[in-house]
A and B are shown apart, each in its own frame.
Chain A
Amino acid sequence: MDTKPLCPSCQKPLAPDVRLGLCPECLIKAGFPTGKGSDTGSMTHQAFVPPAVEEIAGLFPQLEILELIGRGGMGAVYKARQRQLNRFVALKILPPGVGSEPAFAERFTREARALAQLNHPNIVTLYEFGETSGQFYFLMEFVDGVNLRQLLASSRVSPREALAIVPQICDALQFAHDQGIVHRDIKPENILLDRRGRVKVADFGLAKLVGVENDPRADGGIAVASPDLTVSGKIMGTPNYMAPEQVEHPTEVDHRADIYALGVVFYQMLTGELPGKKIEVPSKKVHIDVRLDEVVLRALEKKPELRYQQVSEVKTMVETIVAIEPGQIAPPAPVQPAVNTNAGIKKTKIRQSIILFSMIAILGVALAYEIIQRHKISQSLKPLEAQQLRESRQQSFGANFEKRLAQDQGKLTQAQLQEAEQLYQVANTNWGTPEAIQSLQTMIKKYPDCDRAGCATLYLAQMSNGDDRARYLQSCIDDYNDCYYGDGVQVGAFARFLLVQDYRSQGDDQKANVLSNEIKTKFAGAIDHQGNLLVDSLKTDSK
């Protein structure tokens, strides 16, 4: 043979020594995870590419498609407006081909009709469902707010907040269970909180309907559950919210699987972590009422018969615990800085303030006041003293900050300053992306001596993990100790603060204590970007 056959994909000549005549390079390439997420090594199964807004718009003339708001194994969700009714809706479309199995359309209709019966204030209402040009879709209530995952990621949910959220989830679940509908996919992404602080549970029964919450192959094998953001580097066995019986026998599951999942979510809200193989009791990790331990643990029983048999029991227990000692105030967990860009700060503040503000309506003024105190948001409700303290701090550090800025301006030309600013903004608007990281690295390389380089290094630390993060934080301490950014945050102090937490989570208490003491002695006046004194946040940190 003169000409070797070529691989249809990479166009290289095929080696004769691979089975099935497939190009080995391409076979290996097929092993990489699809979509983003390869930097953490986690399997982000986004093999489904959502259609562009224009494509979808063509299929739904009665809707004005506004934007793609989410995607996952079960399809894509768009925000849209129903023209006639002039209201916002969420349009969810299923991945292509999902509906091509013969009995699917019938099953789809039957299940969707059952879901449409779920008319409850804590359940995302299903308006419409159907199929158009081969595309199966749902039209649902649009929830303007955040999901629990976002809340967990940005700041730890306080015990009080958790105790306000859980009963509402119970209400939703009990209502559905009474109608014979099991959710099967309770997880933080499916628990929404609207602007008024109301919980809305989404995606009821869709997991079963679409059949994708588990490995689609009927004969068992590796169950690839929803990847969890907190776990990286693992290929299989990613923690999930599925009850043990759901993993073993997915088709034989009853409503008690939802109770298990609720237990996992509850645990996560209280402790910030998922329960491990050996479940550590929540009250050991955070300051909460020990009676809650029993509730959480019972929900997490491996055997369904040992769990609560009705979700309403969970609600009753939680409400009893909350009611009997109304004066008990849980000390706040250390404030974890959320997003650290100016735009991000605003967004976080607004979001937090909206949610917390709204919780007044549900929880009563006293409780809400306590929550707001803890978060120290800038609202007209904010106590005067806190505001004054903040202002005076800004003044003293502001002076420094101005000085720094002037120095920067002395060292760099206008054009250079502009470039630095631009690189900065890229990072701000694309927080956490490779572009952002590159942009900041460029900035530091080009302008290592300016204040902003200190800030950039800190940002890089926050966008990185492991050794990189440690390296950047150390650089903040060594090279940029006296740099400031934002509203007077000292880079060196804040980097130490972050390191203390890293060391704690690594179990390196010695190093953590050293740095913690440094902050308390040398950086007593230092603040975080929300204006809170670092030493205050460290009060609950000690070992």
Chain B
Amino acid sequence: MENLCRTYWYPLYAYVRRRGHPAQDAQDLTQAFFARLLERQWVGDADRERGRFRTFLLTAMSRFLSDEWDKTRAQKRGGHVTHVPMQLDAAETRYGHEPVDEGTPEQYFERRWALTLLDTVLQRLRAEYEQAGKGELFVGLSSSLVGGRESQPYAELAAKLDMNEGAVKVAVHRLRKRYRALLRSEIAETMAAGEDVDDELRHLFAVLARG
């Protein structure tokens, strides 16, 4: 749970901002939310068991914002103890740079969530390759993560990386396979056991297509 919070707090912050709360308030709210979530084993835990972390977070935050806003406002600014490290100042800068036209705050959250997930997976993948001393290979081949397997420009890649085409094909295949495994694994992390990864993938796809 903590890990998930650490990874996906930003979409939530962005959501709160998008709901119209100014930066300082948003920071307080996000912190308070996570503090509450982690300290008190949230009431919505029952839902957590059944469903998806993504929807749980959104619903809980939405509820939090409507119910708790008044109470929280009365508390002192700052001083919340959370276990979730959030770079809130950086968050605001990042938020400022986001493209604007994203529909409702909920849709905005969904999109941010999907992008965060992708980001996390790519980071992880890159780290793996770098640890194996294949950092440059990763950079050179990363473009092959998109598109069909047959439509990759193998000849070009081979030339660029100074490898023979057969070896490039193998490397690309491995990269894509590992990426897929990591992606599905990360998605599975955000869901309860027994939930369908493909279903969530389809949802994420739809979300990103909309944006």
A contact residues around B176 at 8 Å (CB): 30, 47
B146 touches A235 (CB 8 A): no
Q: At the interface, yes or no: B132 with Cβ under 8 Å from chain A?
A: yes
Q: At the interface, yes or no: A233 with Cβ under 8 Å from chain B?
A: yes
Query: What's the least CB distance linking B72 to chain A, in Å?
Result: 30
Interface string of B113-139 (1 = CB under 8 A from A): 011001100110000100110000000
Stretch at the interface among B27-35, B41-49, B147-155: B147-155
Q: At the interface, yes or no: B103 with Cβ under 8 Å from chain A?
A: no
* Segment 185-228 of A: residues with Cβ below 8 Å from B: 216-219, 221-222, 224
Q: At the interface, yes or no: A153 with Cβ under 8 Å from chain B?
A: no
B contact residues around A27 at 8 Å (CB): 118, 122, 145-146, 183
Q: At the interface, yes or no: A58 with Cβ under 8 Å from chain B?
A: no
**B128, B164, B166, B183 — most chain A CB neighbours (10 Å):** B166
Q: At the interface, yes or no: B50 with Cβ under 8 Å from chain A?
A: no
A contact residues around B114 at 8 Å (CB): 24, 28
B115 touches A233 (CB 8 A): no
Stretch at the interface among B56-64, B85-93, B192-200: B192-200
* Segment 16-46 of A: residues with Cβ below 8 Å from B: 16-20, 22-34, 38, 41, 43, 45
A17 touches B184 (CB 8 A): no
Given A28-B201, A31-B187, A22–B211 Cβ distance below 8 Å?
Answer: no
**In the complex, what residue of chain B is closest to A29 when comparing beta carbons?**
B205
Q: At the interface, yes or no: A97 with Cβ under 8 Å from chain B?
A: yes
B contact residues around A98 at 8 Å (CB): 170
- Taken together as a complex, chains A and B put the C-alpha atoms of A216 and B132 apart, in Å, by 13
Q: Is the interface of B mostly helix, strand, loop or mixed?
A: helix
- Taken together as a complex, chains A and B put the C-alpha atoms of A9 and B167 apart, in Å, by 23
- Taken together as a complex, chains A and B put the C-alpha atoms of A19 and B142 apart, in Å, by 10
Q: At the interface, yes or no: A134 with Cβ under 8 Å from chain B?
A: yes
**In the complex, what residue of chain B is closest to A34 when comparing beta carbons?**
B149
- Taken together as a complex, chains A and B put the C-alpha atoms of A282 and B202 apart, in Å, by 41
Given A9-B151, A47-B149, A47-B176, A235–B115 Cβ distance below 8 Å?
Answer: no
Q: At the interface, yes or no: B204 with Cβ under 8 Å from chain A?
A: yes
Given A24-B208, A97-B167, A219-B132, A31–B123 Cβ distance below 8 Å?
Answer: no
Query: What's the least CB distance linking B170 to chain A, in Å?
Result: 4
A7 touches B146 (CB 8 A): yes
Contact partner of A25 among B180, B196, B208, CB < 8 A?
Answer: B208
- Taken together as a complex, chains A and B put the C-alpha atoms of A156 and B205 apart, in Å, by 41
Q: Is the interface of A mostly helix, strand, loop or mixed?
A: loop
B contacts with A, residue count (CB < 8 A): 50
A49 touches B179 (CB 8 A): no
A15 touches B99 (CB 8 A): yes
* Segment 370-423 of A: residues with Cβ below 8 Å from B: none
B contact residues around A222 at 8 Å (CB): 181, 185
- Taken together as a complex, chains A and B put the C-alpha atoms of A10 and B177 apart, in Å, by 20
B170 touches A219 (CB 8 A): no
B118 touches A18 (CB 8 A): yes
A contact residues around B73 at 8 Å (CB): none
Given A221-B128, A222-B185, A41–B198 Cβ distance below 8 Å?
Answer: yes
B contact residues around A448 at 8 Å (CB): none
B contact residues around A219 at 8 Å (CB): 128, 131-132
Q: At the interface, yes or no: B169 with Cβ under 8 Å from chain A?
A: yes
Query: What's the least CB distance linking B136 to chain A, in Å?
Result: 14
**In the complex, what residue of chain A is closest to B131 when comparing beta carbons?**
A219
Q: At the interface, yes or no: B67 with Cβ under 8 Å from chain A?
A: no
A contact residues around B205 at 8 Å (CB): 25, 28-29
Q: At the interface, yes or no: B188 with Cβ under 8 Å from chain A?
A: yes
Q: At the interface, yes or no: A132 with Cβ under 8 Å from chain B?
A: no
A17 touches B115 (CB 8 A): yes
Contact partner of A100 among B142, B146, B164, CB < 8 A?
Answer: B164
B119 touches A101 (CB 8 A): no
A97 touches B196 (CB 8 A): no
Q: At the interface, yes or no: B209 with Cβ under 8 Å from chain A?
A: yes
Given A15-B99, A30-B146, A224–B181 Cβ distance below 8 Å?
Answer: yes
| A to B CB contacts below 8 Å, 28 in the list | A17-B97, A17-B115, A20-B143, A22-B143, A24-B118, A24-B208, A25-B205, A25-B208, A26-B145, A27-B145, A30-B146, A30-B180, A30-B183, A31-B180, A32-B198, A33-B198, A41-B197, A41-B198, A43-B184, A45-B177, A47-B176, A97-B168, A100-B166, A100-B169, A100-B170, A218-B132, A233-B196, A235-B188
Interchain residue pairs A-B with the least CB separation, the first 4: A100-B166, A26-B146, A9-B147, A97-B169
Give A residues with C-beta under 8 Å from B.
Answer: 7-10, 15-20, 22-34, 38, 41, 43, 45, 47, 49, 96-101, 134, 216-219, 221-222, 224, 233, 235-236
